[in-house]
């Protein structure tokens, strides 16, 4: 009886530990800010909460809050779904005097229990702008110039929808390209809303994470940098007038306030960290497009036409024409070409009644290019003749509408004659591995003899059930299962700390970018060299101090380095290197010597900063 009670208590405890919900209530804010700077304090809980109680923000001015928001996400990993939710309470504050301030924990109620967030310590330091009074007037004038010149009009940046054919046939492939035109630099863009494709079957042509194609184009007497940010192949599934709704995109434009553009194609994603630019966010939409889909002609339309439109070829292959009863034969049909090949779903194949057949295994090999969708589709049939004789597999036809010829075309496979000899009464082991053969019957075999095995006898009264070995083996899976959950949660928690991962990889990423810059130095590609040097320096700072790229500036760099007790001379040298990189890009003189000097400075300042932070 004691063993039963101990077993039940152990199982119940382990399952409570394994499946108990891990409630996390955290507070986050910048660790160091400058006087007068505005910032956000966010309290996040991973479950539905009530009775949120905010702490005192003594030493700061509350601009707004609490601003509530929620988010949820689902992930499928190896067929398993995980779902997570987050509820946030955000306050926007403004720093006052210098000093170190503590924000006490906030409180919430989750499931009838009270939870507290972590305590925040924020250090307010003197703004870097005030530490260099000699440049105050120059910086103020620059800020005023930026404010007066940072504006966009509709002709500076816009999206156009280009369609290869506005009057296609029903099922005919058309290419839709969304082109982003800009006369200013862009640091990033985000597609917020995809265009609606109601009435179409669509296929993305651009590969995931593929850089957009860029080139120059003169439009109405004005030169633009053009990027093809999205390209899809559409196949209309109904005739008549169909509408393609606009594509909505958020762009972060770089408005130049001092320096002229170089008109280089690489300026499309220009250096977003130059002090000569100001970030301006704008939402733009592509134009609304209507197309007129024409119906296919009914004259000469074959009965076996199933909607294939394009230009195709058709062939068939059989692995053997002589076999024995109960042996498998593989028959394959292949359709190749350009058009709506993915919409072809079946063939009309008629086999002799003495054959046992299965549904075909269908494989697609699709190619995506600027010209649209092409590739091959194969239908693999497994057939098993059950009796001997000579059998005929009639030709199989495939009909499609040829766009070049403007008419229906019917292709046919050859007729196959299959000679089947008498089998040995056993089922063949030959088969098509990709076809499900669970229902293959075992025909023509006699009943096998019963196999007599030696008997294993145990002593009377000895049983494995409830024995010591039984308990030991029963506990091992539960313990291993609990340990697996524990280490899995620990791993996910570490992996979710994006800031920590970026901090650890900051130096490694910077080295890769510097190596790429060295290659451009060897080939004397000036613009690419300075872009990679700038990305290496600013990217290192962003990853090392968890500062978003859009918030980086000379002031934020000074504050971040000072908060980590980096020596003053190294901090000033880092800022000087950033400025030298920008000025050297457009300064006259010996380009080789200047590029070598900038490269040496970049390596030295990153190494010195890394040594200071250790």
Domain boundaries, the chain: 24-127, 151-293, 309-421, 498-613
Q: Is the confidence at residue 262, as pLDDT, over 70?
A: no
Confidence of residue 437 (pLDDT cuts 50, 70, 90): very low
Kind and range of the H or E run holding 373: strand 372-385
Q: Measured between alpha carbons, how far is 104 from 89 in angstroms, rounded to an integer? A: 15
The mean of the pLDDT values for the chain is: 77
CATH number of this structure's domain 309-421 = 2.60.40.740
Q: What pLDDT is attached to residue 4?
A: 54
- Sequence-distant (6+) residues with CB within 8 A of 21 are 47
Residue 184 confidence (pLDDT) above 80: yes
Order of strands across the sheet that contains 80-95 = 25-28, 38-45, 80-95, 60-77
Reading phi first (left if > 0) and then psi (alpha if -120 to 50, else beta), residue 233 is in: beta
Q: Residue range 408-431: average pLDDT?
A: 77
* Rounded (5°) CA angle 72-491-48: 30
Residue 207 CA, chain-centre distance (Å), reads 11
Q: Nearest 5 degrees, angle CA 70-CA 489-CA 114?
A: 50
Edge-to-edge strands, sheet with 107-110: 50-53, 107-110, 113-116
pLDDT in tens, 193-218: 777 778 888 888 887 667 788 889 88
Given phi > 0 = left and psi -120 to 50 = alpha, else beta, which region is 310? left
Assigned token pair, 208: 């995931």
Q: Categorize the per-residue pLDDT at 130 as very low, low, confident or very high, splitting at 50, 70 and 90.
A: very low
**Using CA of residue 265, residue 595, residue 514, residue 551, what is the dihedral sign?**
negative
> What is the reported pLDDT for 79?
45
pLDDT in tens, 438-451: 444 444 444 555 55
pLDDT at 415: 92
Q: What is the pLDDT of residues 50-64, one digit of tens each?
A: 888 889 888 888 877
Distance CA(23)–CA(398), nearest Å, equals 60
The number of angstroms, rounded, from the C-alpha of 206 to the middle of its chain's C-alpha atoms is 13
Same fold, 24-127 and 309-421: yes
- Cβ neighbours of residue 339 under 8 Å, at least 6 residues apart? 172, 173, 308, 309, 310, 311, 312, 373, 374, 400, 403
Burial class of residue 530, CB neighbours in 10 A (0-12, 13-18, 19+): buried
User: Which distant-in-sequence residues (6+ apart) come within 8 Å of 589 by Cβ?
Assistant: none
In 3D, which of 424, 397, 402, 427 has the Cα closest to residue 413? 397
For residue 452, what pLDDT is reported? 59
Q: What is the pLDDT of residue 506?
A: 67
Query: Where does the pLDDT of residue 542 fall: very low under 50, low under 70, confident under 90, or very high at 90 and above?
Result: confident
Contact criterion met (CB below 8 Å) for 475 and 10: yes
pLDDT digits (tens, 9 = 90+) for 487-507: 888 777 766 555 555 566 667
Across 422-445, average pLDDT: 49
Residue pair 50/109 in contact (Cβ under 8 Å)? The answer is: yes
Q: Regarding the domain delimited by 498-613, which CATH topology (the fold level of the hierarchy) does it fall under?
A: 1.20.120
With a cut of 90, say whether residue 318 has pLDDT above it.
Answer: yes
Output the pLDDT for position 82.
55
CB neighbours of 246 closer than 8 A, spacing ≥ 6? 159, 161, 195, 285, 286, 287, 288
Q: Could you tell me which residue, 23 or 317, shows the higher pLDDT?
A: 317
Verify cis geometry, omega within 30 degrees of 0, for the bond prior to 66.
yes
Which strand (E) or helix (H) includes residue 586?
helix 568-586
Whole-angstrom distance, CA of residue 326 vs CA of residue 320 = 14
pLDDT higher than 50, residue 133: no
Q: Is the pLDDT of residue 31 over 60?
A: yes
Nearest of 218, 217, 210, 225 to residue 270 by alpha carbon: 225
* Residue 232: how many other CB atoms lie within 10 Å: 22
Which H helix or E strand runs over 312? strand 309-318
Domain made up of 151-293: CATH architecture = Sandwich (2.60)
Helix (H) or strand (E) holding 146: helix 136-149
The structure tokens 């809303």 sit at 193
pLDDT of residue 27: 92
CATH of domain 24-127: 2.60.40.740
pLDDT at 149 over 50: no
């Amino acid at each position: 009886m004691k063993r039963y009670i101990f077993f039940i208590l152990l199982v119940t405890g382990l399952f409570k530990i394994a499946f108990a919900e891990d409630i996390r209530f955290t507070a986050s804010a910048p660790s160091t800010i400058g006087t007068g700077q505005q910032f956000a304090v966010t309290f996040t809980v991973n479950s539905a909460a009530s009775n949120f109680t905010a702490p005192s923000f003594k030493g700061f001015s509350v601009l707004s809050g609490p601003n509530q928001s929620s988010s949820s996400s689902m992930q499928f990993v190896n067929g398993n779904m995980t779902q997570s939710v987050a509820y946030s309470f955000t306050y926007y504050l403004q720093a006052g005097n210098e000093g170190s301030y503590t924000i006490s924990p906030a409180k919430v109620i989750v499931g009838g229990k009270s939870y507290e967030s972590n305590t925040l310590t924020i250090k307010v330091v003197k703004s870097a702008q005030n530490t260099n009074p000699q440049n105050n007037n120059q910086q103020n004038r620059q800020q005023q110039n930026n404010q007066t010149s940072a504006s966009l009009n509709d002709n500076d940046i816009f999206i156009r929808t280009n369609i290869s054919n506005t009057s296609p046939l029903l099922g005919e492939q058309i290419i839709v390209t969304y082109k982003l035109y800009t006369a200013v630099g862009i640091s990033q863009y985000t597609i917020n809303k995809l265009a609606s494709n109601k009435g179409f079957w669509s296929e993305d042509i651009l590969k995931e994470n593929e850089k957009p194609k860029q080139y120059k184009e003169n439009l109405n007497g004005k030169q633009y940098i053009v990027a093809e940010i999205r390209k899809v192949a559409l196949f209309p599934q109904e005739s008549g007038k169909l509408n393609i709704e606009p594509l909505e995109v958020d762009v972060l434009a770089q408005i130049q306030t001092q320096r002229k553009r170089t008109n280089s194609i690489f300026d499309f994603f220009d250096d977003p960290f130059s002090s000569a630019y100001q970030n301006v966010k704008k939402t733009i939409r592509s134009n609304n497009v209507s197309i007129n889909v024409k119906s296919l002609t009914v004259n000469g339309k074959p009965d076996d036409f199933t909607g294939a439109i394009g230009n195709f070829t058709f062939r068939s292959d059989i692995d053997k024409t002589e076999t024995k009863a109960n042996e498998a034969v593989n028959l394959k049909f292949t359709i190749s070409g350009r058009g709506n090949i993915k919409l072809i779903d079946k063939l009309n194949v008629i086999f002799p009644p003495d054959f046992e057949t299965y549904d075909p295994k269908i494989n697609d090999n699709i190619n995506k290019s600027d010209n649209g969708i092409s590739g091959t589709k194969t239908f693999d049939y497994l057939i098993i003749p059950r009796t001997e004789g000579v059998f005929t597999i009639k030709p199989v036809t495939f009909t499609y509408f040829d766009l070049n010829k403007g008419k229906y075309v019917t292709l046919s496979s050859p007729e196959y004659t299959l000679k089947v000899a008498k089998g040995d009464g056993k089922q063949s082991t030959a088969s098509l591995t990709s076809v499900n053969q669970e229902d293959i019957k075992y025909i023509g075999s006699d009943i096998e003899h019963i196999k007599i095995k030696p008997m294993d006898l145990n002593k009377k009264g000895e049983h494995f059930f409830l024995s010591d070995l039984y308990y030991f083996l029963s506990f091992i899976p539960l313990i291993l299962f609990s340990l697996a959950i524990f280490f899995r949660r620990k791993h996910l928690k570490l992996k979710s700390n994006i800031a920590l991962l970026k901090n650890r990889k900051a130096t490694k990423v910077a080295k890769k970018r510097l190596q790429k810059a060295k290659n451009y130095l060897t080939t004397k590609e000036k613009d690419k060299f300075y872009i990679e040097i700038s990305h290496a320096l600013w990217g290192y700072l962003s990853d090392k101090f968890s500062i978003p790229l859009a918030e980086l500036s000379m002031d934020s760099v000074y504050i971040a380095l000072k908060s980590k007790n980096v020596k003053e001379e190294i901090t000033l040298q880092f800022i000087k290197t950033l400025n030298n990189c920008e000025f050297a890009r457009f300064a006259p003189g010996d380009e080789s010597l200047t590029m070598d000097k900038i490269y040496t400075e970049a390596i030295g300042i990153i190494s010195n900063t890394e040594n200071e932070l250790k």
